[in-house]
A and B are shown apart, each in its own frame.
Chain A
Amino acid sequence: MIDKRQSILGFFATGLPLLATIIIFLMIGLIVAEFAVIGIPNLSWKFITEFPREMNTQGGIFPAIYGTFLLVIIMTVVAVPIGTITAIYLTEYARQNSLFARTIRFAVNTLAGVPSIVFGLFGVGFFIQTIGASIDESRWESKLETMQHALVEPGAPFSKSATAPVGDIRKFLTRDDEIFWQEAIRDLEPMEASASSAVTIGAVVTHLRKKPELKWGKPAIIWAALTLALLTLPVIIVSVEEALRTVPRDVREASLALGATKLETIRKVVVPNSITGILTGSILAVSRGAGEVAPILFTGVLVSMQELPTALSDQFMHLGYHLYILATQSTDVEAAKPLQYATTVVLLVLTFGLNITAIVLRSRIRKRQFS
């Protein structure tokens, strides 16, 4: 009797786990298959190299690919070195088990688990509104100063009198250097409407001071990249620290005993021995950053651009964001569907490529460790 019950129980005990595994497997298979089957036929060389047309219902997604790559590159260049060096500091230089080190580790661990949207909040509030706005203000101040000097030179509206008509000021600036003064020229318009006849130079400056030229105080690729770098920083720190820890203490101590300095030990013993772990961790973190859309939602992406971003203060298109917009806000669903799937395939190729590299690297470590 007991045997029978046990064997029935045993059947479920071994069957349920197998069932769970099969379900998960099927789910993965379903997702991959769906995107492959519907998406791949819609891929074409044109799709990858063209710009979008007709409100994103036709054409290609090249700017999105370009933007995603640019973003990931900037993010990596910022996050990986800083994260690795911080991890080296935490592992090698900071006194272990001190309150300082433990607090930092706890903060880093927590931050690694914080939802990515919070980083987006930080990006908007800090990078764009605080730092970006300050940069813009100081640039504008220096420009206003230059303008003040220019306006009192001989030949300029204010050289002979204290007041001048706004129209004259505008003409002077346009003649002087239209592109350099274009923001100022544009912002003088409301003044023209309200001013009766003439204004003092002080009034002009006061009026213009309130409207700095927005170059850095708006969403830009640099802020999005920095936000993502901040997002991946804790993950990189945690994984590099783990990799550094795998180097046994004896090896470090042996190196020091042989007369090497701490830095030499790090440079020639610790890092080379953990480099695969460092690389794996960094690649995984970078691939996670490449797929995140939430933090860049309001720090730099655009739905559609007709030119590629050329400066750090430009906005950009992004594969993941593009997919989000196509999926939730397209006006013509049938036309957008093939683009949605094709975009997904490109995004998946990018993310999986990075992940597979990391996995291959990791299995290389494993093999080396057991050889």
Chain B
Amino acid sequence: MSDVNAPPEPAQQPIDVQPAHDAKRSLTRKQRRIGERLAELTIFAVATISIIAIFLIFLFVFREASPIFFGSDDTAIVERDTATVETPSTVPATDSSGSGDDSTANLTSTASDSRSGEMEVYNAESGDEPIVGGEIAGLDTAQSPPAADAGSETGAPADATDYPILTHDSQVRVSHLWYEIWQPNSEHPRYGIIPIVMGTLKTTLIALLIATPLGIFAAIYTAFFAPHWVREYLKPVIELLAAFPSVVVGFFCLMTVASIVQSVFGNEVRLNALVGGIGLAIAVVPIIYTLTDDALRAVPRSLREAALALGASEWQAAYQVLLPAATPGIVAAVLLGLGRAFGETMIALMATGNGQVISWDFFVSVRTFAATIGAEMGEVVTGSPHYQVLFFLGVLLFLFSFIVNFVAEFYVKQRLVKKFRGTE
């Protein structure tokens, strides 16, 4: 109050600064706005591109396979082939190197050996020599795998297939696919996918039988019983297994696992469904382990504490309370592992032997969907029926992982939500 005449500067300063400040703010505002609009536009554009790309994959794969679903029936079907077809045998990888064989290559190399008398003669109307059946049936006897193989062959259905005689130009339809011989490279190609289905089924089954208990029990250990420091180191190590490229796992199976299996079981066919299944299991265990571990740890502590308070021991609480509570997550984990095992390509290419036998024997060479695509895609002509069939197999793989994902997401979400809402 001593200063009646307040110095003019403080009163003036705000007035001085204000116009400049306003001008500056409005300038930067406008520039900022334009810059931001541009940036946001870029974000939208990029996101749109990637979303389009994602849907494009679905569309394109389906489109390339669509002739098989919808193609016109102008096939060059010459005659109906009414021969009794023996189920094809495979060529076991007899060379000691243990390298995987391509069944086609072997067919050409050993076809000369063997037109044994027991093969069925084809309907000779067309005057064709019985290329397909002859080669395969002949190999059956030429290779003389152990009795187990031959015995298992007769067990499989050798029905009188009414397989239409196709040429390399004729349109393949879905009805042509549920047959027993896959021979796209012969003069009259056959696209029967049953052997491939069997092969995929067997290897996936073996893989899951091995990987599920291993993964779940290991997750139980790290989630419930392991001391804290052990878990710190154990989890990354097991996840390291997931970091192995599948080529490496396939190679490992090809070299070491096949030898171990051979010395334990004494099988002659070195690369078979069991070896492939073990390889797939190696690839799938980390998936099941990680997801189960997450599911187990997501169970609320209150459940565990309540069980312990009621007198249960640690393991009783784990198995009888916590494990059931985490079931949806565990189911999801196994489903995702299943999806991975189904579609794994390199391991299947390298470790399964790539043969085509229809039997439940674990010690025969098999071929899976993914391996078929991987092995044959390089040789097809674009747009040819073979190409379309391979895309059809791709569609099957797509649909399968689609369904698995769908079930895992919705089943798990519903059950999980219900369970935890119920316990709160």
> In the complex, which residue of chain B has the Cβ closest to the Cβ of A89?
B47
Are A86 and B245 also in contact (CB < 8 A) when A294-B370, A323-B251 are?
no
**Per-position 1/0 for B214-245, Cβ under 8 A of A:** 11111011101110000000101111110111
Please give the distance in Å from A250's CB to the nearest CB on chain B: 23
Complex interface: chain A residues within 8 A of B336 (CB): 113
* Residue among B32, B47, B57, B404 making CB contact with A230, cutoff 8 Å: B57
Q: Let me know if A234 is at the binding interface, CB within 8 A.
A: yes
Q: Is the CB of A24 within 8 A of B349?
A: no
**Per-position 1/0 for A6-23, Cβ under 8 A of B:** 100010011011111101
Please give the distance in Å from A283's CB to the nearest CB on chain B: 11
Which of A30, A35, A117, A262 gathers the greatest number of chain B CB atoms within 10 Å?
A117
CA distance A303 to B218 in the complex (A): 40
Q: Is the CB of B214 within 8 A of A20?
A: yes
Please give the distance in Å from A29's CB to the nearest CB on chain B: 9
Q: Is the CB of A323 within 8 A of B401?
A: no
Q: Is the CB of B54 within 8 A of A31?
A: no
Complex interface: chain B residues within 8 A of A107 (CB): 54-55, 58
- Residue pairs across A and B with CB atoms within 8 Å: the count is 248
* Residue among B51, B225, B346 making CB contact with A86, cutoff 8 Å: B51
Which of B58, B255, B374 gathers the greatest number of chain A CB atoms within 10 Å?
B374
> In the complex, which residue of chain B has the Cβ closest to the Cβ of A79?
B50
Q: Let me know if A126 is at the binding interface, CB within 8 A.
A: yes
Q: Let me know if A110 is at the binding interface, CB within 8 A.
A: yes
Q: Is the CB of A320 within 8 A of B247?
A: yes
**Per-position 1/0 for A218-249, Cβ under 8 A of B:** 00000000000010011001000000000000
Which of A30, A113, A234 gathers the greatest number of chain B CB atoms within 10 Å?
A113
The dominant DSSP class at the A interface is: helix
Among residues 172 to 229 in chain B, which have CB atoms less than 8 Å away from a CB atom of chain A? 213-218, 220-222, 224-226
CA distance A119 to B42 in the complex (A): 26
Among residues 93 to 140 in chain A, which have CB atoms less than 8 Å away from a CB atom of chain B? 93, 104, 106-111, 113-122, 124-126, 129
Stretch at the interface among A146-154, A162-170, A307-315, A346-354: A346-354
Among residues 40 to 87 in chain B, which have CB atoms less than 8 Å away from a CB atom of chain A? 40, 42-44, 46-47, 49-51, 53-58, 60-61, 64
Are A86 and B47 also in contact (CB < 8 A) when A10-B315, A109-B405, A328-B350 are?
yes
> In the complex, which residue of chain A has the Cβ closest to the Cβ of B214?
A20
Q: Let me know if B402 is at the binding interface, CB within 8 A.
A: yes
Are A125 and B245 also in contact (CB < 8 A) when A115-B370, A117-B373, A233-B53 are?
no
Complex interface: chain A residues within 8 A of B61 (CB): 118, 121-122, 125
Q: Let me know if B14 is at the binding interface, CB within 8 A.
A: no
Please give the distance in Å from B215's CB to the nearest CB on chain A: 8
Q: Let me know if A159 is at the binding interface, CB within 8 A.
A: no
Complex interface: chain B residues within 8 A of A13 (CB): 315-316, 318-319
Q: Let me know if B39 is at the binding interface, CB within 8 A.
A: yes
> In the complex, which residue of chain A has the Cβ closest to the Cβ of B33?
A261
Please give the distance in Å from B235's CB to the nearest CB on chain A: 10
CA distance A35 to B244 in the complex (A): 12
Stretch at the interface among A42-50, A53-61, A274-282, A285-293: A285-293
Q: Is the CB of B99 within 8 A of A333?
A: yes
Mark A residues whose CB is within 8 Å of B: 6, 10, 13-14, 16-21, 23-25, 27-28, 30-31, 34-35, 81-83, 85-86, 88-90, 93, 104, 106-111, 113-122, 124-126, 129, 230, 233-234, 237, 261-264, 287, 290-294, 297-298, 320-321, 323-324, 327-330, 333, 340, 344, 347-348, 351-352, 355, 359
Mark B residues whose CB is within 8 Å of A: 32, 36, 39-40, 42-44, 46-47, 49-51, 53-58, 60-61, 64, 97-100, 213-218, 220-222, 224-226, 234, 236-241, 243-252, 254-256, 282, 285, 289, 313-316, 318-319, 336, 339-340, 342-346, 349-350, 370, 373-374, 377-378, 382, 390-391, 394, 397-398, 401-402, 404-406, 409
23 contacts between A and B (CB under 8 A): A17-B225, A18-B221, A20-B217, A20-B220, A21-B226, A25-B234, A28-B237, A28-B240, A34-B256, A85-B43, A85-B50, A113-B404, A117-B394, A121-B377, A125-B64, A262-B40, A264-B36, A292-B245, A294-B374, A298-B377, A329-B99, A344-B248, A352-B243
Apart from the given pairs A122-B57, A328-B100, A330-B97, 4 other A-B contacts in the complex at a CB distance below 8 Å: A24-B238, A110-B405, A115-B342, A352-B243
